[in-house]
Structure 1
């Protein structure tokens, strides 16, 4: 027996024919029932509590993905595959709500071979890491298809091509404009009461023609509002589309009743005009948002460099200059920027940046190495097998693997206001309707009711924070200050303590004098020294390496870099230790008046290189501008030899802490936070990764190395070091702009509602004012953030 009143518990479709019943729940097909069984058996019933009928009916996937059994094809889709760990990024067009995100990020409960899954909701993409011993790529894709989230797989789609623009909204705009223009034309005789032309026998025909023209506008162009509102109501929530859909529905039903019973021509002109202007507003917002889109690719050009071998010459080049076939040097603790093949050296790669697991894997020459891994055992030479994908490195940097969950205060305010906004608007609209009906003014009542629903849209409120912070991201990027996400700006605005590392942070790794004191090194020892330093990315190592003569380059049999202490390496039977006095075996020599690097060969102390530190240009000026507003600290692993020099250069009150190991730096930051401080840590990312991660905002200074820490929140080009105070000032001003834009949004809505409840504001005018308020807020925050973020004339 057919029963079309019953809907599918999973997808919401009508159960035509005899519905399939399971646990007193109706399903339209065996596919939906199977999905329900899969979710129930794995403890994922919460999928249905987040939204009613959230699912999509699964298609037939049996045999559809057999081509993924071909390893050559599967490898083209994989981002990473190493030691049974494989990572794939799939496009899932069916992602549409929070329920989708929830179930897709819980795939590991459906299949134990899946390690984690992460949804990119705006891009409708799903990143999955899985163990190939327990599940194959084909089985992963089949699982997604079987629960209604079939991925769209096309090998050419995985090439870096521009995404085609979605023109659906443009088509809707054209249809809405056509309907509005013709309905207005047919309404002119009614406006001017043209009795000679508008004879009684033609009125019904033209009124029904206006009704017919309004149908595509109401049910196609405005259909998204009704669908969104229906889903919202089914889930027990009231989103911002509910009042708009209700206003359109009331106007359409009232107008239809008018022509059916002969009361008048209705409000089809206002109705189609309302839909047309709202569609214009939506289109303009979409285009504006897309044009600002926070220039997501700007982070592709963050100032990270890599060493390229050109003949016998080594040169530091920006990542985006690397091409397929280039030979690269990857030093200890440096990031592998591109998929490559190992040519020389034994690689020990930490792929935690990609997989989240810190278990290094060993690789021999000839093996393929993947972008995002970090070399942790000396230097290797590699050959790039493709050009650098900066967007991929950006995605890794922004992934949740190293992202600390920190509060996003203003985003939460927006969500809270939006949640309570709709019930308040509906209450005001119903009170207005009741009041004017009680006075017997039916036309005014419906005008007031509809105008309130349309004009009181929280779009301006919801857009103010994203546009303000997004534009600041873009401005910072242009000034070579690259933030991981917009929430970093909120944290920078609250900073009260700034802690600086010394070597490689406030000193330049490219400048400064170096002198040697001690026994002369023989040719073999010089070769060992140069070759050992070549492996290291530490600022002192890089500075010393550049001044030494290039003799025979040796490959160490053993290499180890002890963080905060030094380096040791073995070449056949020869041994060398480079680092602090204690590490080199002469603790009594640690009291050098200058920053020094000590040398020990074959267990015999030979001497030391003394560094005349060259502090970054503008250091004194920067500290003067920061003092008084922030507590300033220098936290260094070096000895106190530079204390007096720094005391002369820097303003009084700067706290200086020396001889601090990496764990001491971390504990110092944590202690400051326990005392209520909001800390920004500025370092080079090598010996201070823990402190960067612990701080409220961790900033890495990038010069000529890609050894930055994935735990940092921002990367600052060394040439912009002197502008740190400017970035902090702009962040504070930016949050003030957000607050002001919130206040303006509230004023817009209060003024609009005050006028709308009087019944003197027509729905069409309300439809025009609604997007105008959003556009003006966007223009306001964009202009103001551009103003506060402008570069000074004399940097």
Structure 2
């Protein structure tokens, strides 16, 4: 009996290693099994039989990782304690690989987390550099059979390794198709003389040889995908294609060997050529609609730049250049690697490392992109320009998306769930009928059905429609995290708005002061305290107060939904709500206001007279018939009368809402069946944005980056919210329409194929043409939606 290695599946020779009553081909595989068993990772083998790879034993191969300069180039993040590296692992191929690589922390306690990107075959590992070096980490991964491929060129900016395998396969299929067609001409035209007697068998065997690289190389992706699908008990769309190719090849080989016919090598090679041509077209179109270029590059995080004359201006992050001086306020993201110049850094790297504890930094320290300042404002000098894809990677981090869309089934999966099994039933049923009625047509009918019913067009509908809509939304300053958000937008039936900084405009608000005058020192302290805060009211008040000298605060603390405390030398200041300062309650206190106290003495209050965003009343009136409308505000009820006049009857108004109360309100109504879109400022509303089905953060010259939001909307496009919702519903209708077109194509094609009037090669030509037509249809329709998007309400 032939023994197979329990770990990698390789056939064992007579000198096999036996451990725990299991056979292993080498000591390396046995060692990996021991490692997994000792660390409670034996479940690795329960997911698949022999999923592992034989580990390498070349430890010297990674000696270059002893060089700190090389390591620094490979690291994505390094603060001296925690390091993050993204490694390319060619061997990643199945669910077992993902499972073991995401449980590396069980092999070494210094590994904090690891996240696999299966399509890209990469694993992003966060680890403690004090407990394990990068070299030791790489050797550990190699020891369990997942040796990473490390090339410094892959980590250089703007350099990408191009996968040319599809072009090579297309070239092989095209070469074979042309030559097989040429060799088939004599039989097409029934040339009997020299062909019949001398060269017919020879030419047929040449066609057979030419078909081998087509089947075993050019068609390999279809067979691999079909095999993985069957092994996972999933009927994917490549199964009918792989089955059709296999049947064509086996039937043609049988005819050649038995000399009963010329086979279908022309149809076989033509089928693969046109299939790969269609796939090549899809790839090119996807590159054109590249998310990296078409929506990540629009990512709109604002940042404050300090000019050489000391003035401050708001710029977008991708305008940052090396050497620029930047101001980072409380709760703002650090968008680039930088050096801390002024202020006390208290950096929260949880977006990057998952560690919630803030790290203290001082002047001269290096700060990494992705950190968030959680104290007073700091000044930085940028070390390089911003990496848009890196920022979006933080925004799209799966850590913040867990359970958000749990149970959500996208439109393609819901419609095409049973497509493959239906096609297989039709194919086998038709083949059985023709075997009984006219056996000579059975093979053509069977293969033509499998080819013409290929659901490629069906599978393309949603990705191309949603991808193009993401690009169009991005150009209109509405930035969605991913395609799932667009599908969720189309299902929204309830909309909740925050008030301050969301439906009110920061730019036109009037502010008055009532109380005891503030002396110069108090005004300077107030101005600098406000300079550190990112709250909408703080930013408004900061912008209207007169210029004062910039000072570094000794203490600064901001309490969400309450207020701020700060101190400088012997002077303290406290500002915020009346309850926070325990201010005397008067009728005027019911206004939206920021109360001020210095050295524990109440001074007075700045009253805000809200200026609502242009078109607010029209916006609510355009939404009232389709959506349930709610205002959840942390402010008091002073604006209730004005809002009741502005907004349509039936709009729910709730005031004095704390952040956790907003979240609980949304959670309760979701249990009642509501699909909620929350529109907020991205700061105090983070919990509510995270809980809602779609959370939209309003951006107005401020860094509103938050993983809690599913979308970011430029404040200048606030009145276009109804149009965005309209466009998302139209996009879903385009997908449904393209599905109908695809089904119509399949129905007509199947009618000809079942009746025996459609040859496999014609079916192979029509298949990519249907895909092209679907892509053209979705592109044209979404572009028409985009043209109508900017119509103001």
Q: Report the TM-score, using the length of structure 1 for normalisation.
A: 0.94
Name the CA distance, whole Å, in 2 between partners of 1:17 and 1:450: 45
Whether the 8 Å CA contact 2:594–2:606 is kept in 1: the answer is yes
Whether the 8 Å CA contact 2:678–2:695 is kept in 1: the answer is yes
2:248 counterpart SS class: helix
Tell me which of 343, 355, 378 is aligned to 1:357. Answer: 355
1:34 counterpart SS class: helix
- Provide structure 1 residue ranges, at least 5 long, that are not aligned to the other structure: none
Counterpart position of 2:715:
718
Name the CA distance, whole Å, in 1 between partners of 2:240 and 2:590: 73
Whether the 8 Å CA contact 1:300–1:393 is kept in 2: the answer is no
Name the CA distance, whole Å, in 1 between partners of 2:356 and 2:247: 60
Name the CA distance, whole Å, in 2 between partners of 1:776 and 1:692: 39
For the aligned residues, what is the CA RMSD?
2.5
Cα gap change, 1:600/1:417 in structure 2, threshold over 3 Å: closer, same or farther? closer
Matched, 1:538 2:546: no
Counterpart position of 1:611:
608
What are the within-5 Å matches in structure 2 for residues 339-738 of structure 1?
339-407=337-405, 411=409, 414-415=412-413, 420-439=418-437, 441-589=438-586, 591-592=588-589, 594-738=591-735
What are the within-5 Å matches in structure 2 for residues 123-272 of structure 1?
123-233=120-230, 238-272=235-269
Name the CA distance, whole Å, in 2 between partners of 1:675 and 1:230: 43
Tell me which of 749, 752, 759 is aligned to 2:749. Answer: 752
Matched, 1:333 2:336: no
| TM-superposition CA deviations, 1:52-93 (whole Å, max 9, x none) | 443333333412223223333323222223363222112223
Whether the 8 Å CA contact 1:475–1:789 is kept in 2: the answer is yes
1:116 counterpart SS class: strand
Cα gap change, 1:329/1:743 in structure 2, threshold over 3 Å: closer, same or farther? same
Name the CA distance, whole Å, in 1 between partners of 2:745 and 2:4: 42
- Provide structure 2 residue ranges, at least 5 long, that are not aligned to the other structure: none
2:59 counterpart SS class: coil
Counterpart position of 2:84:
87
Moved more, 55-64 or 341-350: 55-64
Name the CA distance, whole Å, in 1 between partners of 2:250 and 2:578: 87
Cα gap change, 1:356/1:730 in structure 2, threshold over 3 Å: closer, same or farther? same
Whether the 8 Å CA contact 2:252–2:262 is kept in 1: the answer is yes
Deviation, structure 1 residue 421 = 4.0
Whether the 8 Å CA contact 2:699–2:715 is kept in 1: the answer is yes
| TM-superposition CA deviations, 1:198-245 (whole Å, max 9, x none) | 341222222222222222222222233334444445555554333323
Name the CA distance, whole Å, in 2 between partners of 1:16 and 1:283: 43
Cα gap change, 1:397/1:235 in structure 2, threshold over 3 Å: closer, same or farther? closer
Matched, 1:321 2:319: yes
Whether the 8 Å CA contact 1:50–1:235 is kept in 2: the answer is no
Whether the 8 Å CA contact 2:724–2:789 is kept in 1: the answer is no
Cα gap change, 1:645/1:145 in structure 2, threshold over 3 Å: closer, same or farther? same
Moved more, 557-566 or 77-86: 77-86
Name the CA distance, whole Å, in 1 between partners of 2:174 and 2:459: 27
| TM-superposition CA deviations, 1:100-156 (whole Å, max 9, x none) | 222222222232222211112233221111223432222221122222322222233
Matched, 1:291 2:288: yes
1:202 counterpart SS class: helix
Deviation, structure 1 residue 627 = 1.1
Name the CA distance, whole Å, in 1 between partners of 2:233 and 2:496: 48
Matched, 1:109 2:113: no
1:759 counterpart SS class: coil
Moved more, 501-510 or 154-163: 154-163
Counterpart position of 2:93:
96
Name the CA distance, whole Å, in 1 between partners of 2:25 and 2:336: 48
Name the CA distance, whole Å, in 1 between partners of 2:302 and 2:723: 25
Counterpart position of 1:274:
271
Counterpart position of 1:66:
63
Moved more, 474-483 or 59-68: 59-68
Matched, 1:78 2:75: yes
2:398 counterpart SS class: coil
1:587 counterpart SS class: coil
Whether the 8 Å CA contact 1:240–1:418 is kept in 2: the answer is no
Counterpart position of 1:301:
298
Q: Report the TM-score, using the length of structure 2 for normalisation.
A: 0.94
Counterpart position of 2:786:
789
Moved more, 199-208 or 303-312: 199-208
Name the CA distance, whole Å, in 2 between partners of 1:60 and 1:238: 39
Cα gap change, 1:724/1:230 in structure 2, threshold over 3 Å: closer, same or farther? closer
Whether the 8 Å CA contact 1:189–1:197 is kept in 2: the answer is no
Cα gap change, 1:732/1:141 in structure 2, threshold over 3 Å: closer, same or farther? same
Moved more, 696-705 or 606-615: 606-615
Name the CA distance, whole Å, in 2 between partners of 1:8 and 1:234: 19
Whether the 8 Å CA contact 2:631–2:653 is kept in 1: the answer is yes
Name the CA distance, whole Å, in 1 between partners of 2:5 and 2:424: 30
Whether the 8 Å CA contact 2:410–2:484 is kept in 1: the answer is no
1:790 counterpart SS class: helix
Tell me which of 101, 105, 118 is aligned to 1:121. Answer: 118
Whether the 8 Å CA contact 1:680–1:699 is kept in 2: the answer is yes
| TM-superposition CA deviations, 1:669-693 (whole Å, max 9, x none) | 2232233322211111122111111
Tell me which of 772, 775, 778 is aligned to 2:775. Answer: 778
Whether the 8 Å CA contact 2:291–2:471 is kept in 1: the answer is yes
| TM-superposition CA deviations, 1:315-344 (whole Å, max 9, x none) | 111101112222111111111111112111
| TM-superposition CA deviations, 1:157-177 (whole Å, max 9, x none) | 212224243222112212211
Cα gap change, 1:276/1:58 in structure 2, threshold over 3 Å: closer, same or farther? same
Name the CA distance, whole Å, in 1 between partners of 2:607 and 2:529: 18
Whether the 8 Å CA contact 1:295–1:474 is kept in 2: the answer is no
Deviation, structure 1 residue 416 = 6.8
Name the CA distance, whole Å, in 2 between partners of 1:219 and 1:116: 39
| TM-superposition CA deviations, 1:430-462 (whole Å, max 9, x none) | 3333332233x3321111122222223232333
| TM-superposition CA deviations, 1:761-790 (whole Å, max 9, x none) | 211122222223333333333332333333
Name the CA distance, whole Å, in 2 between partners of 1:214 and 1:437: 26
